[in-house]
Amino acid sequence: MTNRNLGFIIKDQNPLILSAHISVQHACQHMWSRRVGAVLITDDKGLLTGIFTGRDAVRTLGEDREPRSTPLAAVMTAKPDTIDPEATAIDALRMMSDGGYRHLPIVVEGKILGIVSRGDFRGLELDRLEEETGLWEKLG
């Protein structure tokens, strides 16, 4: 199956969601214990305001910030791109490829339903993206 619906992919998911006031260290501890590569950040109403990934953690350390005292709000990617649960796997892969990121929140009207990463997609879906990319490179 090469065109799975994102709602199907995330149907039983329980994404890691934290407040922007949480420290980088605390977020990394949660990421480690849950074995996930990203945290979705919400406001007081539960609406998505940002995303914090392993790349952000590395950047935080590289900038010599103190992880115990640095809040996620200071280092997260604010207003990340999102995608609708009715979109397909290839739609998500295209967005991630075009945007240069590996995690994509699934959101409807600001409400978080889940998140996908490149690892959630199967060989045929990845192969299709590579075929499309190769075609565009030949045409360009």
Helix axes 24-34, 54-62, angle to 10 degrees: 140
Question: What pLDDT sits at residue 124?
Answer: 54
pLDDT given at position 97: 87
80: CATH = 3.10.580.10
pTM of the model: 0.84
**Beta strand 17-19 with 38-42: parallel, antiparallel or unpaired?**
parallel
Question: What domain range includes position 66?
Answer: 6-139
Q: Does residue 13 lie within any of the structural domains?
A: yes
Residue 57 lies in a domain: yes
Mean pLDDT by 10 residues, the chain (140 residues): 80 94 98 96 94 96 96 97 93 90 92 89 58 53
pLDDT of residue 55: 94
- The identity of residue 130, as a single letter, is E
In a domain, 1, yes or no: no
Residue 89 lies inside a defined structural domain of this protein: yes
Name the domain count of the chain.
1
Under DSSP, the state recorded for 22 is S
